[in-house]
Amino acid sequence: MTARHCTHCGGTVLRLGLIEDTGQQAHGESRWLEGPFEHGFFGGKRHSRKTARTVDAYRCTVCDHLELFVGPEG
């Protein structure tokens, strides 16, 4: 498998994370959480939420390519 890299700048340092979907509680906002899910005490999945950042989506008006970016920490 080829190493992952940023398709925009070519950077090779990427951080594993996931996009959290909290359903109706999110009010249209998604968050990126750093790190993988962990297994909870009863076998369910959980996440420590040490780093949670909002996700913004931008669409190119020329080619309709969609890019996701995370907002600042905090």
pTM, two decimal places: 0.55
pLDDT digit string, tens, across residues 1-41: 577 778 778 888 877 777 777 767 667 777 787 777 777 77
Which residues does 52 contact at the CB level (< 8 Å), separation at least 6? 20, 31, 32, 33
